[in-house]
Chains A and B, each alone.
Chain A
Amino acid sequence: MAKKFFMDPQRCIGCRACMAACQECDTHRGVSMIYIDTLDTEWSPQTSPTVCMHCVNPPCANVCPADAIKQDENGIVLQASVDRCIYCRNCLIACPFGVPKYQAKQALMIKCDQCYDRTSVGKKPWCATACPTKALDYGEYDEIIQQHPGSAVNQWQFGDQALETNVYVFAPKETRKFQVLQLFDYREQAGYAPNAGLAGGQQEIKGESDADVWAGWENRDWTGWSALQQEQEGK
């Protein structure tokens, strides 16, 4: 049986060793494809790792107009192929887990492909190798679930939409499915406002938030087009 990827976010201590390891990789030098997110720290001490969950029926691949995103025999959703990707960014919007990244200059989408180069020769993905707490792990299903008292869950529910993923997340025993929006709802009821924490003097970690990514979005020169136009107009 193919080896599987497991996450136990509760064990994540936010050390970002996985991000550092991911950046070392040759296929996307200097860019991490794993995310460590802090929740609102007033609300929870938890940090949360996100790798590509490798959906069994991946929305990103299904909405890709160029048919550039493929799955391999083990269900791993590969990166957009470099010659097909027409940088439409559908996958970024569609992904239910917020995973793909867009490299504007290179006009390319990149995402975690579970270290295809390493797993194909029997090694663990970089992040799982680097993780000191086994919040990220990779191996035979039977072996790994024995090391955890909780149950490994790969079913997700977003409203009416169910999703199955190839990556498992450990949850308390008897959990069959993650009801992603259920708790969200409670939080809103509790008067939770996501930006309040920021206004209260808390700092978000630079480079992690989408605010950095989208700053000056409208004026950003995506493919060098406006620079050329300005040149032509003699500005």
Chain B
Amino acid sequence: MQDTKPSIYSPRQTTIRASLIGLGGMALLALLIMLGSRMLAFFDPALTGYAIASLFAAFAVAFHYGTWLMRPSTRVMWRRSWQFFLSWPNFRRYFWVIPITFVRNLLFQSFIRQRSTLRWVMHQCLFWGVMLSFAVTFPLVFGWLHFEAIGTHTYQIFIFGFQVGQMNALGPVGFNTFHALDYFAVLVIIGCAIAYWRRWQDRSIRPVQRVLFDLLPLHLLMSISVTGLMLTVVDLWFDGAGHWPITLTHQFLVIMLLLYLPFGKLFHIIQRPASLGVELYYKIGSKQGMKNCARCGRPYGLELHVEDVKTALNGVGYNFWLPQSGHHWQDYCARCKRVIRAGAYAGLVGRAWVEPGGLQQTQYAQPTSPVSEMTDEAKQNGN
């Protein structure tokens, strides 16, 4: 894969800046772990491996997020989103845009349903399965949530080191709490199964899928869920036989997932919330006015958007200003761009009836096709 214009800074500057952002992310997480676990008083040493992997993942995610924001076009959109979000009049008028979009597009991804219901079910299973698992496991790993055995089956619950209650592990609440991850694992397995099935039978995705980008995340999610469930199974019914190797495998896989997060497909979890900004952008932009094509006069986009894209294009080193017409190439609608180009071509090969001088005149086509195909008769007829 070739990369596109990556940054507004030089490669070296980009790396330095992104590394700083990465370190910042890592330090922030470390701080939150320290504070949340009361200086590690409620930190579970058995989960140290996960915690360290999380710190590395925090570095890499922040690093990637940083380089992403240094893309000129991302920066334009990012700035605009915040500018719109933080303006008081907009806040009053468009207050509901963000929460509603959040629920519809980020939590329930209703737009995926338009692609197909199966894809939507798949993604909902993956989304809730993984998000809810994260909601349980990260607080445990960071020591924000802590269980301490005080009897054979009774546990003391601590949140951020504050004692919030007791729980009987065999009671309905306790049982379901301790097995919550199993339920989420089942969701993820269903989601992965549908994804595998789609990838297996759908002719539209099989040829374009790539192993590292499309399949690896599925393999990881699937194997993590399966090994996680196996832990419960061996503990409940097989006296913990094989518990230790399974734990190790599970831990290894989770760490791989955490480290994969910033690089591959799963980066979309972190990056997609930007679509909230896009929603606001279009809401506000459409009130500000439409841009009419400089040639045909029809609206083809938001005025604001066209200007921003021009800025972004300049940011990545293009200059589509056309002295001949006094417009930007982007001031024309998609169809006019095609038609102008086709017109230029027709003029070039002599397929146009208007001469540069402005005279109405039939021209003979200049051959770009084999000459033999054009008979003399055809030529005489002005074909």
A residues near B (Cβ < 8 Å) are 8-11, 25-27, 29, 35, 37, 39-40, 42-46, 48, 50, 58-59, 61-67, 69-73, 75, 78, 82-84, 86-90, 92-99, 105-108, 116-117, 120-121, 147-150, 158-161, 169-172, 175, 178-192, 194-195, 208-211, 214, 217-218, 222-225, 228-229, 232
Contacts and interface: CB of A to CB of B under 8 A. Distances in A.
A88 B4 contact: no
A50 B366 CA distance: 21
A183 B271 CA distance: 43
A67 B68 contact: yes
B274 A178 contact: no
Interface string B67-97: 0100111101110000000000000000011
Given A45-B351, A160-B319, 15 more contacts: A39-B343, A39-B346, A46-B351, A48-B342, A58-B4, A65-B76, A71-B1, A97-B338, A105-B111, A108-B115, A149-B367, A158-B322, A171-B349, A225-B104, A225-B283
Interface stretch (B16-24, B234-242, B329-337): B329-337
Chain A interface main SS type: loop
A93 B301 contact: yes
Contact of B275 (A25, A86, A208): A86
A95 B76 contact: no
Contact of B73 (A26, A64, A222): A64
Interface string B8-42: 00000000000000000000000000000000000
A10 B2 contact: no
Nearest to B345: A9
A175 B367 CA distance: 12
Contacts of B110: 223-224
A182 B344 contact: yes
B300 A214 contact: yes
Contacts of B296: 194-195, 210
A94 B368 contact: no
B151 interface: no
Interface stretch (B186-194, B203-211, B223-231): B203-211
B354 A43 contact: yes
Contact of B338 (A27, A37, A116): A37
B341 interface: yes
A50 B100 CA distance: 39
B5 interface: yes
B335 A210 contact: yes
Given A65-B76, A225-B97, A94 B312 contact: yes
B370 A147 contact: yes
A194 B356 CA distance: 17
A210 B334 contact: yes
Given A63-B312, A183-B348, A172 B96 contact: no
Given A89-B301, A183-B343, A183-B348, A190 B354 contact: yes
> Which range holds the interface residue count of chain B?
35 or more
B172 interface: no
B318 interface: yes
Contacts of A175: 348
A178 B286 CA distance: 35
A95 to B, nearest CB: 7
Contacts of A63: 73, 309, 312-313, 316
B334 A105 contact: no
Contacts of A96: 320, 329, 337
A160 B321 contact: yes
A32 to B, nearest CB: 13
A65 B286 contact: no
B98 to A, nearest CB: 11
A43 B2 CA distance: 42
Contacts of A150: 366-369
Contacts of B320: 96, 158-159, 161
A180 B344 contact: yes
B219 interface: no
Contacts of B290: 217-218
Nearest to A61: B4
Contact of A186 (B96, B206, B297, B347): B347
B309 A94 contact: yes
Nearest to B320: A161
B263 interface: no
A223 B111 contact: yes
B322 A44 contact: no
Interface in B122-141: none
Given A184-B343, A210-B335, A10 B369 contact: yes
Contacts of B162: none
B171 interface: no
B377 to A, nearest CB: 18
Contact of A82 (B115, B301, B324, B365): B115
B371 interface: yes
A72 B166 CA distance: 57
Contacts of A185: 324-325
A65 B77 contact: yes
A97 B333 CA distance: 10
B278 interface: yes
A11 B346 CA distance: 11
A35 B338 contact: yes
A159 B339 contact: no
Contacts of B347: 183, 186-187
